[in-house]
Structure 1
Amino acid sequence: MGHRYEEFDSIRGIASLSVLFHHCLIVVPIFYAAHLHQQNSDMLVNVFSNSPLHVVWAGHEAVILFFVLSGFVLSLPILNGKPLQYKSYLIKRFCRIYLPYIFVMVLSYTFYMIYKNFNLIDNFSESTSIWFNTMWSENPDFKSIISIILMLGYGTHNLNTVTWSLIHEMRISIFFPFIILFVNKKNPLKFFMIAISVLFSIWLLFMFVSNLGISEVVSYLFYSIGYTFYYSIFFVFGGMLARYRSKLSNVFYKAKIEMKIFAILLFIFGYTIEWNTTFGSYLKYSEFLNLKLLVNFLIDFTIAFSVCLLFIIVLGSGLFKSILKRQELLYLGKISFSLYLIHPISLMMLIHLFKETLNLEFLILISALLSIIFAHFLYKYIEIPTITLGKKLSKSSEKKKVA
């Protein structure tokens, strides 16, 4: 009933590391250009970008993995027959996501003000990319502060670029348990098709409204909420995988070695589909909105499918399980959320402080190493206490309900 898939913790840790690598690389203008599929003459950058090697710094792909994994993990208790204590569940999710989110936002703002007062921030450096230069680029106004508190999504890149995904994670957590109740019915595959179609249609509708130009606020809210429905699709992927995990992993376990190798290669190719084909390269940023939305969905759908395939491979392979249960990987999994949250702040702190005196590549390397150290302390002193608080508050809520 309470089985924990520790190997998936390690996968989460490796994925967080790939997000760290992704952000470290796109600080450099030439890698940011490669990220946007812009042509450049550097052969090494092109090979490292437009091939399956991109798996090393597949940041966007890792976020899709996080969403699928969240859907998988959140579905397990319900699929295993545990009664849903909704209030208790929401309290734990709030403490798990919102409190660390607010902490890193306040932390980032604090360092921004310190660096600003000492004139350490240069937002016009040619040595760093536009992506990096637009972080800590302005003092958050009242609208941004309200947006951050209410998790509306506006102004996240300025203070902490990764927190956009937490906003969708928190929103989806509110209604996702009710979706999973349908996954556990007699015909879950039918529900899967209906759920994907409905969520996809709502997303397209919200994207259409957001582009009508009604007002900046209305456009942004429809855009942001629309993408919450969009990313819900990948939570549903995780829920379906949880529903059929035993059957699918057993199929892989019994498969011939040739099929297992093919499945692994298929995962790598599908996970990096955007970088293996001109399909992703030339159409993802199309000027035609409908085409751009469709291509992005097809890419993300392929990534989500590949993530599910990865989970099946791991569940059906004793070798991969043993590798992923190594203590160092399990610990990386434990601090993965903290690593995800803290590394943009580490990058900004170190680069702004020393970029006039030290080599940029050296600063990025040191920042990556420091991010892991910072993540250890964030996990120990913020993440664990907030998880513990969530458990205490949820138990207190359940006791009051019984009384």
Structure 2
Amino acid sequence: MRIVALDSLRGLAALAVAIYHSILVFPELDPWLQPDAATGSAAALLLMVAPPSLLWAGREAVLLFFVLSGFVLSLALEPRPGAERPGWASFATKRAVRLLLPCTAVALLLAGLVPLVAPQPRAELSAWFNDAWAEPVTPMLIAGHAMLVLDEYVFNSPMWTLHYELRISLIFPLLVLLAALGSHVLLAAAAGAVLVCLVEMKFVGSGVLTTLLYLPHFALGAILARHRATLARRIGALGTWQTAALWLLCYVLLQLAGLLPGGPLVNDMIAGTGAALLLALVLGSARAQRLLLTPPLPWLGAISYSLYLVHVPVLLALVHLAPPPVPAWLPAVAAPLLAIPLAWLLYRTVERPAMRFGRQLGAWVEARSRRPGMVGLSR
């Protein structure tokens, strides 16, 4: 089951992340992204909370991706009429192929692009920009980007989210089983996982359990998927003022989390709740769905993963390659737009074939796992 309006929402979120990184190039614009309520200027605070700031709400967009993934993965694990529930091995195979083949293509692109560009530090630009391609290209780094096994993705920083996406995908069938026991059971398990991670970070500090910090966002998506019909019906039955109040609450949760004193973890939980509420509102609003079906939004949603993967390489290459008379803001502004056709090319040549191959390989794994003697793979 596919809900195209949610694909469009993912496309808009990917575009917001691209715009966020374009702004991140310039240190003087940092207050727009991370204003300090106590010391920040009134203009910066206004830019942070005004509606246009949704266009560069990068962190919130990432958390929306996690909630959306929880929703979509839950749908993928639902049993079809006349068919058995997909087995873990098949599900994990399809998910790994779907995520890793485009990552591999982009990693190979970076292996040639970074030495070709020969980046040099620019004092007037941000530390994020100057640190991005500062490391020498090595086979191990490229392989780490391709397989999503690094602690830091120095050539393409957005891959850090895919690192967590892949790991949670591999344990996601367990979340679906917990959701079947009740939403409260799943939320309690997710909260417990976060607590275990925090204890490990404080007393051991290895960081091996940081993936668990984002488990609640996937859990929220799984709960939305399980109760989507009831939620859509109840939200659709609300009056105009009640619906407007929920939209306002959603906006506040998404926009104001960064200004609260609770710290990054609490702010992520608040923004994640706002993202879950946004999905529920879209599911319950025929008007919102019609708006999200307006061309070219569904197309942008289709290429959103590829756009997410290529926008930083495009941005960094354009700014580095621009001749000195060209102000840095010009390639930075152009980068999100120029990344879109490259994302379409990656989608057509790599991502879409990867999805087909993943389904075929998953079906083969499923068939083998159900053969006599292949115990433990189909469930």
The alignment's TM-score, normalised by the length of structure 2, stands at 0.90
CA RMSD in angstroms comes to: 2.1
Q: Is the 8 A contact 2:187 2:216 kept in 1?
A: no
1:230 partner letter = L
Q: Is the 8 A contact 2:25 2:129 kept in 1?
A: yes
**Other-structure match for 1:130:** 127
- Is 1:315 aligned with 2:283? yes
Q: Is the 8 A contact 1:148 1:154 kept in 2?
A: no
Deviation for aligned residue 1:313:
1.1
**Other-structure match for 1:182:** 178
1:94 partner letter = A
1:206-285 alignment to 2 at 5 Å? 206-211=200-205, 222-223=206-207, 225-275=208-258, 277=259, 279=260, 283=261
**Other-structure match for 1:55:** 54
SS at match of 2:158: helix
The correspondence for 2:273, drawn from 305, 311, 323, is 305
- Is 1:151 aligned with 2:134? no
How far apart, in 2, do the equivalents of 1:80 and 1:389 lie? 21
SS at match of 2:54: helix
2:91 partner letter = Y
How far apart, in 2, do the equivalents of 1:209 and 1:52 lie? 41
**Other-structure match for 1:100:** 102
How far apart, in 1, do the equivalents of 2:108 and 2:151 lie? 15
**Other-structure match for 2:91:** 89
Deviation for aligned residue 1:357:
2.7
Deviation for aligned residue 1:396:
2.3
Q: Is the 8 A contact 1:135 1:160 kept in 2?
A: yes
Q: Is the 8 A contact 2:175 2:186 kept in 1?
A: no
**Other-structure match for 2:21:** 23
SS at match of 2:117: helix
Gaps of 5+ in 2: 372-379
Q: Count matched residues.
A: 366
Deviation for aligned residue 1:79:
4.5
How far apart, in 2, do the equivalents of 1:372 and 1:77 lie? 27
Query: What do residues 172-230 of structure 1 show as CA deviations (whole Å, max 9, x unaligned)?
Result: 11111112112112xx133033213211112202321454xxxxxxxxxx32x322111
**Other-structure match for 2:377:** none
SS at match of 2:177: helix
Deviates more, 1:317-326 or 1:345-354: 317-326
Gaps of 5+ in 1: 212-221, 284-293
1:152 partner letter = V
Structure with bigger helix share is: 1
Deviation for aligned residue 1:149:
5.3
Deviates more, 1:307-316 or 1:30-39: 30-39
SS at match of 1:272: helix
How far apart, in 1, do the equivalents of 2:50 and 2:204 lie? 34
SS at match of 1:207: helix
Q: Is the 8 A contact 1:79 1:243 kept in 2?
A: no
Identity among equivalent pairs (%): 28
- Is 1:160 aligned with 2:156? yes
Deviation for aligned residue 1:96:
0.7
**Other-structure match for 2:338:** 370
